[in-house]
């Protein structure tokens, strides 16, 4: 296994830390928690009455989490439309299209933005062509599929739970949700009729070995779906399902297990302080390590045989 300190240091300058997501700028921080990934960004947004006009630089989708009435909005040169927004109402703002929004009451929604490059990459795998255009639905449309993928579990609620939970958001998990959601947008809102091939079976033995070795060497840094799919030699669209079929758990859970295994080994060795172990194992701080260990292993760092006096 690659030295954890080296692996973490090598990952600091890569990934999404350098990515400036435009949607994170146009929605004020006071609206709610947010996170950027390699594909785009997600926000749990609660905003009071008011108006806003902006030009989207990424494909931005808002999914209403609580019903509202008499919202007014427009896309591009279209006239302003007043509509009621029930739970599950989905509004798509394609990149490069200006829009306006006026809220007469507080609105709570999950905002998912995907960069044009990321959507084109998914489309290349899905349709064998990358030049696709999103076709926004009518204002007020409820998208039951967006609320129930996969396996009748709501993606907006999963995003909200991850952003508002006690633990820091898991970047690989959010990137997985963005990938699944991006594929849904392509299949539902681009007018493409050719059915996409579904993922069958797991990863090949060679692909599984490469992914396992890659994660063993890079588990302490931010890892995204696209890079793991590239290592495995499959498309991002199908990687998550194939990984789970091969390893029995989704990629983000596998990553968490690696971090906890490494942290527990260091804790048992008893040569480092807990705060140092948390950093070396890929956690943001000591409390993040403790909360994650408690959630997934049912114990805390001080319950692993580590000398409490050195934490």
DSSP labels, 231-285: HHTS-HHHHHHHHHHHHSS-HHHHHHHHHHHHHHHHHHHT-S-HHHHHHHTT-SS
Structural contact between residues 274 and 286, judged by C-beta atoms closer than 8 angstroms: yes
CA torsion sign, 83 to 87 to 88 to 90? positive
The total of structural domains in the chain comes to 1
In a domain, 47, yes or no: no
Give the pLDDT band (50/70/90) at residue 14: very low
In this structure, the dihedral spanned by the alpha carbons of residues 38, 44, 48 and 54, taken in order and rounded to 10 degrees, is 20
Residue 266 maps to a domain: yes
Q: Report which secondary-structure segment, H or E, holds 47.
A: strand 40-47
Treating both helix axes as pointing N-terminal to C-terminal, what angle do 171-188 and 155-164 enclose, rounded to 10 degrees? 160
CB distance 60 to 113 below 8 Å: yes
- Whether residue 164 lies inside any domain: the answer is no
- Identify the pLDDT of residue 212: 95
Within 8 A by CB and 6+ apart from 128, the residues are: none
* 290 in any annotated domain: yes
Q: What is the mean pLDDT of residues 33-48?
A: 89
Q: Does residue 102 sit within a domain?
A: no
Lowest mean pLDDT of 7-16, 94-103, 188-197, name the range.
7-16
pLDDT of 157: 78
Reported pTM? 0.75
Q: If you average pLDDT over every residue of the chain, what do you get? A: 82
pLDDT interval class at 16 (50, 70, 90): very low
**Computed from CA positions of residues 261, 267, 270, 274, in that sequence, does the dihedral angle turn out positive or negative?**
positive
Please report the pLDDT score of residue 260 as a whole number. 95
Average pLDDT over residues 238-263: 92
**Which CATH number fits the domain that encloses residue 287?**
1.10.10.60
Higher pLDDT, 184 or 4: 184
pLDDT of residue 133: 87
Could you tell me the two tokens for 234? 């499959």
Name beta bridge partners: 113.
Answer: 41, 60
Select the more confidently predicted residue: 82 or 25: 82
Strands 90-93, 81-85: pairing kind = unpaired
Question: pLDDT digit string (tens) for 255-295?
Answer: 999 999 999 999 998 889 999 999 999 998 999 999 999 98
Q: What is the pLDDT of residue 147?
A: 55
**Structural domain contains residue 273:** yes
The most confident of 11-20, 185-194, 250-259, by mean pLDDT: 250-259
Is 292 within 8 Å of 256 (Cβ atoms)? yes
pLDDT range class, residue 228, cuts 50, 70, 90: very high
Q: Is residue 30 part of a domain?
A: no
215 is a domain residue: no
Residue 274: domain span: 254-310
């Amino acid at each position: 296994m690659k030295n954890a300190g080296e692996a973490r240091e090598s990952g600091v300058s890569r990934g999404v830390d350098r990515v400036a997501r435009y949607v994170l700028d146009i929605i004020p921080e006071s609206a709610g928690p947010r996170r950027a990934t390699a594909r785009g960004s997600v926000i749990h947004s609660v905003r009071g009455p008011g108006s806003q006009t902006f030009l989207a630089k990424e494909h931005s989708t808002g999914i209403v989490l609580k019903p509202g009435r008499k919202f007014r909005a427009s896309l591009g040169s279209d006239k302003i439309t007043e509509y009621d927004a029930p739970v599950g109402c989905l509004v798509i703002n394609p990149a490069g299209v200006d829009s306006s929004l006026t809220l007469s009451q507080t609105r709570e929604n999950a905002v998912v933005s995907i960069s044009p490059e990321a959507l084109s990459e998914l489309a290349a795998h899905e349709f064998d062509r990358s030049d696709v255009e999103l076709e926004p639905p009518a204002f007020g449309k409820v998208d039951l599929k967006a609320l129930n993928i996969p396996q009748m579990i709501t993606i907006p609620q999963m995003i909200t739970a991850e952003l508002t939970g006690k633990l820091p958001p898991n970047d690989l998990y959010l990137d997985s949700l963005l990938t699944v959601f991006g594929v849904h947008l392509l299949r539902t809102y681009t007018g493409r009729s050719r059915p996409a091939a579904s993922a069958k079976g797991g990863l090949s033995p060679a692909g599984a070995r490469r992914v396992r070795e890659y994660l063993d060497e890079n588990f302490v840094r931010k890892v995204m779906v696209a890079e793991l799919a590239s290592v495995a030699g499959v498309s991002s669209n199908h990687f998550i399902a194939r990984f789970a079929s091969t390893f029995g758990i989704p990629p983000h859970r596998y990553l968490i297990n690696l971090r906890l295994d490494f942290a527990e080994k260091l804790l048992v060795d008893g040569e480092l302080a807990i705060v140092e172990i948390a950093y070396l194992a890929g956690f943001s701080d000591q409390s993040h390590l403790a909360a994650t260990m408690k959630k997934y292993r049912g114990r805390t760092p001080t319950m692993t045989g580590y000398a409490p006096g050195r934490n």
